[in-house]
Amino acid sequence: MRIEGWIFLAISWGGLIALACYCTYKILTTRDES
Amino acid sequence: MPRENRDTWGSRLGIIMAVAGSAVGLGNFLRFPTKAASNGGGAFLIPYFICLLLMGIPLMWVEWAIGRYGGGFGHSTAPGAFHTIWRKNRFIKYFGLIGIFGPLVIFIYYTYVESWTLGYSIFSLTGAFSGLASREGMRGFLEGYQLLKHRTLGIPTAYLFFLATFAANAYILWHGIRGGIERFCKVAMPVLLACGVVMAIRVLTLGAPDPAHPDWRVDNGLGFLWNPDFAVLVDKDRVAEVWLQAAGQIFFTLSVGMGSILTYASYLSRGDDVVLSGLSATSMNEFVEVILGGSIGLVGAYVFFGPAEAAGIAERGTFDLGFVTMPLIINRLAASSLFGFIWFSLLFLAGITSSISLAQPAVAFLEDEFDISRRKAVAILCSVAFVLCHGPILFHARGVLDEMDHWGGTVCLIVFSLIECVLFTWVFGIDKAWEEMHKGAQLRVPRAYKFILKYVTPVILIAILVGWTIDKFKSVILMRACKPEDFVYLLVTRGVLLAMVVTLAVLIWHAWRKRKGALAPEEKR
């Protein structure tokens, strides 16, 4: 795989994992009112 | 007034799992990698993520917010929700029928496709295709299965698996939102994620399995999908197509513009969060699609069959990857029965969590607008859908499934998304819409999204619709791409779809007429 491919993969995977972690953190630290 | 015994979600995790389950489908594992590889690899991710940020996520919030708003007035489906937003317009409720018609049409053919994954998961255990090593052999096996030539106890095997799949869907729907859909998704989604992780790890640790081709390695397989080909984004003959494919993939993957999310959100209370929940469901779907979906099928195809064959597989699309290539890959793995079972069970769970969400709007419409019990509504819906499912089952080879997918799974999505976006941000008003979205919100949406919701998202949707109209409308309406021998079948399919639209319009008219006497004066329109 070329270096640009690794960069695209790292940004995409990193961004999505960070978003998933952020959402999980927010859900766990805020009260569920439903 | 809302019915007193209206179903509700048991927990926020329940609705997030259900919406994510609705979004995560076969397309995450089969459609995304083929679209990305055929449209510039890593470069495809640029329009893909831009469409996600400017169209997918805003539409997700719009649909959640409209659903919760309509649910507050006792309407779980688009006709009622649209009517509560634009009471002065007596016709808007008829536009809402797309939010029942679209998912119902998809449900009718999707259940059959979903049943193939159940069939193949059992075949993996029994070794029905374990001796097949060639592409032709595996394709012949799939065609024999699809055309009902394989038989078990004298009955076509595909039909038996369809019956089992349909019964499973009906069973979950029968038990309602909390006892059926939520309970199922809370188990199915973690299992699906676990299966996806197991398959991704298995493929990513293959190394270079063919000693004769040391270059056919996993990292090069990832490169096949991720190496950016920027030429597609500057080539004026291809750039529009790449953007359309990226926008289309976002639509399909998030299940926005169907009406299912609107219906699911309608079972929330007025103070429940929609912003964080919508973003969480989107995040889970994207994790499954880009990280897991992008690491299994095409990477496996590359390491076993090489770059030329992998390119051909990407061009041949979804079904070839899922039901021809993946079984061939799995046959070459150690413990192939186990991995075959895991792969097809994963697809089956992805399918069933989507199909139950597709049936729910029709069930909810009967429940809410005709005040009948859930079980009666499920019985009516399942009886009608069961009969209609026989079209794609019996005439699959005639293109009936593709015709239904075109109208229910493509045209309706774009039109419905545009209607709900314009209705919410222009008719309801962006300030009211913003306030409505943030009721009970546990996350503030950046203010830039106020502009995006009002201008950018509708413009993108209009551009897609205009692009489709210029490119396809005439040839689709005149059925120019249709083979002469399929003409009658496709014409009848269109007739049935039209009859469904007319029936839904009559039902809406009847429901409003019936309710008129019971409504407040301002609602009598």
Q: Name the percent of chain B lying above pLDDT 90.
A: 75
Does B373 touch chain A if contact means CB atoms closer than 8 Å? no
* Chain A neighbors of B254, CB-CB under 8 A: none
B464 burial class (0-12, 13-18, 19+ CB within 10 angstroms)?
buried
Does B272 touch chain A if contact means CB atoms closer than 8 Å? yes
Which pLDDT score is estimated for B243? 87
Label the pairing between strands B155-156 and B151-152: antiparallel
Which pLDDT score is estimated for B515? 79
And the tokens for B423? 């209705």
Average pLDDT on B428-442 reads 95
Average pLDDT on B423-444 reads 95
pLDDT reading at B328 higher than 90: yes
Report how far Cα B235 is from the mean position of its chain's Cα atoms. 30
What does the pLDDT look like over B164-205, one tens digit per residue?
999 999 999 999 999 999 999 999 999 999 999 999 999 999
Which pLDDT score is estimated for A33? 55
DSSP B499-517: HHHHHHHHHHHHHHHHHHT
CB contact under 8 A, A27 and B226: no
Cα–Cα distance measured from residue B257 to residue B104, given in angstroms and rounded to the nearest whole number: 13
Which pLDDT score is estimated for B423? 97
Question: Which region holds residue B235: left if phi is over 0, alpha if psi is between -120 and 50, else beta?
Answer: beta
Helix (H, G, I), strand (E, B) or coil at B155: strand
Helix H or strand E encompassing B156: strand B155-156
Query: Is the C-alpha dihedral spanning A33, B4, B9, B11 positive or negative?
Result: positive
* Chain A neighbors of B227, CB-CB under 8 A: 1-2, 4-5, 8
Q: Which of B340, B280, B353 is nearest to B107 (CA)?
A: B353
Q: Mean pLDDT check: name the lowest of B69-73, B234-238, B284-288.
A: B234-238
A31 burial class (0-12, 13-18, 19+ CB within 10 angstroms)?
exposed
Helix (H, G, I), strand (E, B) or coil at B55: helix
Q: For B39-76, where are the alpha helices, taking DSSP H only?
A: 45-51, 57-71
Helix H or strand E encompassing B152: strand B151-152
Asked whether the ipTM of the predicted complex exceeds the cut of 0.85, the reply is: yes
Cα–Cα distance measured from residue B123 to residue B471, given in angstroms and rounded to the nearest whole number: 41
Cα dist from B315 to B28, B48, B237, B324, whole Å = 17, 18, 18, 14
Which pLDDT score is estimated for B332? 92
pLDDT range class, residue B522, cuts 50, 70, 90 = low
Q: How many CB atoms lie within 10 A of CB B432?
A: 14
pLDDT reading at B35 higher than 60: yes
And the tokens for B477? 């309406």
CB contact under 8 A, A8 and B442: no
Report how far Cα B79 is from the mean position of its chain's Cα atoms. 21
Q: Name the percent of chain B lying above pLDDT 70.
A: 98
Q: How many CB atoms lie within 10 A of CB B309?
A: 15
Which chain B residue is nearest to residue A25, measuring alpha carbons? B280
Which pLDDT score is estimated for B517? 62
Q: How far is A29 from chain B (nearest CA, A)?
A: 10
Does B440 touch chain A if contact means CB atoms closer than 8 Å? yes
Residue B272, amino acid: D
The residue of B24, B44, B193, B227 whose CB has the most chain A CBs within 10 angstroms, and thus the best one to mutate to test that interface, is: B227
Which chain A residue is nearest to residue B10, measuring alpha carbons? A34
Smallest Cβ–Cβ distance between A19 and the set B8, B42, B283 belongs to B283
Please, are residues B398 and B489 in contact by the beta-carbon 8 Å criterion?
yes
The residue of B267, B442, B444 whose CB has the most chain A CBs within 10 angstroms, and thus the best one to mutate to test that interface, is: B442
Q: How far is B489 from chain A (nearest CA, A)?
A: 44
Q: Which of B331, B337, B256 is nearest to B25 (CA)?
A: B256
And the tokens for B479? 């059925």
pLDDT reading at B1 higher than 70: no
Cβ density class B187-202: b for 16+ within 10 Å, e for less = ebbeebbebbeebbeb
Which pLDDT score is estimated for B476? 82
pLDDT reading at B288 higher than 90: yes
Q: Which of B388, B368, B390, B386 is nearest to B377 (CA)?
A: B368
Question: Which region holds residue B74: left if phi is over 0, alpha if psi is between -120 and 50, else beta?
Answer: left
Does A3 touch chain B if contact means CB atoms closer than 8 Å? no
Does B380 touch chain A if contact means CB atoms closer than 8 Å? no
What does the pLDDT look like over B224-266, one tens digit per residue?
889 988 888 888 878 888 888 898 889 889 989 999 999 999 9
Q: How far is A33 from chain B (nearest CA, A)?
A: 6
What does the pLDDT look like over B338-390, one tens digit per residue?
999 999 999 999 999 999 999 999 999 999 999 999 999 999 999 999 999 99
pTM of the model: 0.93
Which pLDDT score is estimated for B325? 94
CB contact under 8 A, B222 and A24: no
The residue of B189, B226, B279, B303 whose CB has the most chain A CBs within 10 angstroms, and thus the best one to mutate to test that interface, is: B226
Does B41 touch chain A if contact means CB atoms closer than 8 Å? yes
Does A30 touch chain B if contact means CB atoms closer than 8 Å? yes
Which pLDDT score is estimated for B396? 87
Smallest Cβ–Cβ distance between A9 and the set B226, B272, B276 belongs to B226
Cα–Cα distance measured from residue B242 to residue B233, given in angstroms and rounded to the nearest whole number: 7
Q: Which of B227, B206, B226, B225 is nearest to B217 (CA)?
A: B206
Q: How far is B523 from chain A (nearest CA, A)?
A: 28
Q: How far is A6 from chain B (nearest CA, A)?
A: 7
Contacts of B468 (CB under 8 A, 6+ apart): B244, B410, B411, B414
Which pLDDT score is estimated for A1? 85
Average pLDDT on B80-109 reads 95
Q: How far is B450 from chain A (nearest CA, A)?
A: 21
Which pLDDT score is estimated for B460? 92
Cα dist from B432 to B61, B66, B342, B429, B438, whole Å = 14, 12, 47, 5, 10
What does the pLDDT look like over B296-325, one tens digit per residue?
999 999 999 999 999 999 888 888 999 999
* Chain A neighbors of B16, CB-CB under 8 A: 27
Give me the numbers of helices (H) and strands (E) for chain B, helices first please.
Answer: 28, 2
* Chain B neighbors of A33, CB-CB under 8 A: 12, 269, 271-273, 440
Q: How far is B169 from chain A (nearest CA, A)?
A: 26
Which pLDDT score is estimated for B6? 79
Backbone torsions φ then ψ of B207, nearest 5 degrees: 65, -125
CB contact under 8 A, A16 and B11: no
Which pLDDT score is estimated for A31? 67
pLDDT reading at B109 higher than 80: yes
**Locate tokens 């309706």: which residue?**
B412
And the tokens for B509? 């008219």
CB contact under 8 A, A34 and B11: yes
Beta bridge partners of B155: B152
Chain A to chain B Cβ contacts (< 8 Å): 81
pLDDT reading at B437 higher than 60: yes
Helix H or strand E encompassing B276: helix B275-286
What does the pLDDT look like over A1-34, one tens digit per residue?
899 999 999 999 999 999 999 999 999 888 665 5
Please, are residues B320 and B116 in contact by the beta-carbon 8 Å criterion?
no
- Computed over every residue of chain B, the mean pLDDT equals 92
Average pLDDT on B398-422 reads 91
Q: Which of B42, B465, B53, B16 is nearest to B294 (CA)?
A: B42
Which pLDDT score is estimated for B4? 61
pLDDT range class, residue B217, cuts 50, 70, 90 = very high
CA atoms within 13 A on the CB side of B471: 9
Cβ density class B245-259: b for 16+ within 10 Å, e for less = bbbbbbbbbbbbbbb
Which pLDDT score is estimated for B3? 61
Which pLDDT score is estimated for B60? 96
pLDDT range class, residue B478, cuts 50, 70, 90 = confident
What's the first-to-final CA gap in chain B, in angstroms? Answer: 16
